[in-house]
A and B are shown apart, each in its own frame.
Chain A
């Protein structure tokens, strides 16, 4: 296990490089195969005005700019958001099983999104935005509801109670969502995709709508790294060390559920990400949030980009629901790393 901070910087740079490679791969591979160099050229031209792309077909350019690029950016944002939210919830609740899905936040947000879509309550121009807002609001409500109920039942808020409550609420909430969906739409495939998540409908408008929210939450959470670290010794000790625990908890929970709510509004409920990515990161990196959070962000982004690529290519031109892929791959990767880690520890 690497301990010196300098090596973390190198590791992070390597992670970034891997991430960019994954991005280019994701853009070039799909139902239509586009060579890597064309991808790079088009992006350089359209975003930075460098280079000449007159020899590349309009269709290719459209696929890259309007379909694949937004999709990759969306995967980045959602992957990072879910991982970050998971890491935060795990730190605040001192519970390695806590994340957006296991606490019922994602399912609650789904209800909000479903209601917004079904009732068609829209602002005239930005109907997408109202779906995002209702999802985030319902995410807040779900989290605070679950935690409030747990506190009433079990003062110490033990791991088991929290997860149990979260799972029960999760199932309850998804049933309501599915009920609403089947009442308003008879399309079962649509319901399945919504339940298991899909990046298929990503476009630049959606990306630009959530980008500011994403950035605000990320900057805030990173700002609170010292507090997150202190929470590791427990809420009472944290208080005596000078942390305004009530305020910190509320604000951090809000930021985390906003990230989850926003992700659910864009792509439906993608499970597992917030759970395994922080766990994997913790195993490899120290348990100082200074390292956990940035690595969770980049790993989460890379993970979702790869799983999205896989979901698009395995049964091309159809798509596997991404929730399926994340669960499958996530579980396998997690077990491998856990095994490796335990082996090294015991040596």
Chain B
């Protein structure tokens, strides 16, 4: 579905990304893992045509550079890390923004399909009971689910998530990823997710890209990428050993 080939990004003469390549296939959950500042968010920006890059990114064999944002947003939805909200919007209002790219009538009126999608998205993320609450009155975790619902309402083919389980308690983290897994198995869907929690990554993803300082450490199936060696090189600590140590405490 998405083919990234030799993606490089240079900002102020500093190479942020160097020759990144990967493929996203239908029903993949593709995670991008790496230390802070390794260029993960920059990959997202490049896919969304929000930054200058060299190399090619093809969406269903069409070059992304030739597409305008309103077309791209019909295929790809992005859930970002930070959310800035100023005014007292209701949850329903925020989720309904996901339907913007499909708007056919004036004044942001929602047709039946829009309302269906919004309802589904809110059910999936368990926020239907918050429908009329003000977003200033809900917790950080609930807000995160609201924005997830927003991007689900957008009903894209590819979901790009930047730290989707930030602020969420363990139950909701697992619930969300279960939902995402189910969603990704639908026809024509795939997910790219930037994630820090390696356990979640291990459990739910199909493919991975391990990246350090803009350079690919490993890319491919989950098992091949998340090896003891790779992780040690990337994170400068022996992740395997750490995990095993922590696991002992739970015994």
A223–B109 alpha-carbon span in the complex (Å): 12
Instruction: Flag if B154 contacts A241 (CB, 8 Å).
Output: yes
Which of A99-107, A142-150, A175-183, A230-238 contacts the other chain? A230-238
Q: Which of B113-143 contact A (CB under 8 A)?
A: 132
A153–B154 alpha-carbon span in the complex (Å): 35
Q: Is B187 an interface residue (CB 8 A)?
A: no
Q: Interface 1/0s, chain B 76-91, versus A by CB < 8 A?
A: 1110100111111110
How would you classify the secondary structure of chain B's contact residues: helix, strand, loop or mixed? mixed
Instruction: Flag if B68 contacts A244 (CB, 8 Å).
Output: yes
Closest residue on chain B to residue A228 by CB atoms: B108
Instruction: Flag if B108 contacts A229 (CB, 8 Å).
Output: yes
Question: B166 → chain A, closest Cβ, in Å?
Answer: 15
Chain B residues with Cβ below 8 Å from A243 are 69-70, 100
Instruction: Flag if B93 contacts A288 (CB, 8 Å).
Output: yes
A232–B88 alpha-carbon span in the complex (Å): 10
A282–B89 alpha-carbon span in the complex (Å): 10
Instruction: Flag if A239 contacts B69 (CB, 8 Å).
Output: yes
Question: B136 → chain A, closest Cβ, in Å?
Answer: 10
Bin the interface of chain B by size: 35 or more
Q: Is B50 an interface residue (CB 8 A)?
A: yes
Q: Is A94 an interface residue (CB 8 A)?
A: yes
Chain B residues with Cβ below 8 Å from A96 are 86-87
Question: A276 → chain B, closest Cβ, in Å?
Answer: 15
A286–B93 alpha-carbon span in the complex (Å): 9
Chain A residues with Cβ below 8 Å from B242 are none
Question: A94 → chain B, closest Cβ, in Å?
Answer: 4
Instruction: Flag if B103 contacts A232 (CB, 8 Å).
Output: no
Chain B residues with Cβ below 8 Å from A237 are 78, 80, 83
Q: Is A169 an interface residue (CB 8 A)?
A: no
Q: Is A287 an interface residue (CB 8 A)?
A: yes
A262–B107 alpha-carbon span in the complex (Å): 25
Q: Is A51 an interface residue (CB 8 A)?
A: no
Query: Contacts A229-B97, A233-B97, A242-B74; is A289 near B87 (CB within 8 Å)?
Result: no
Instruction: Flag if A242 contacts B87 (CB, 8 Å).
Output: no
Question: A277 → chain B, closest Cβ, in Å?
Answer: 15
A227–B101 alpha-carbon span in the complex (Å): 10
Question: B41 → chain A, closest Cβ, in Å?
Answer: 11
Instruction: Flag if B48 contacts A241 (CB, 8 Å).
Output: no
Q: Is B98 an interface residue (CB 8 A)?
A: yes
Question: Can you give 25 contacting A-B residue pairs, CB < 8 Å?
Answer: A94-B86, A95-B86, A225-B107, A226-B108, A229-B97, A230-B100, A232-B86, A232-B87, A232-B94, A233-B83, A236-B80, A237-B80, A237-B83, A239-B69, A241-B101, A242-B69, A242-B72, A243-B69, A282-B87, A282-B88, A287-B87, A287-B90, A287-B93, A288-B89, A289-B108
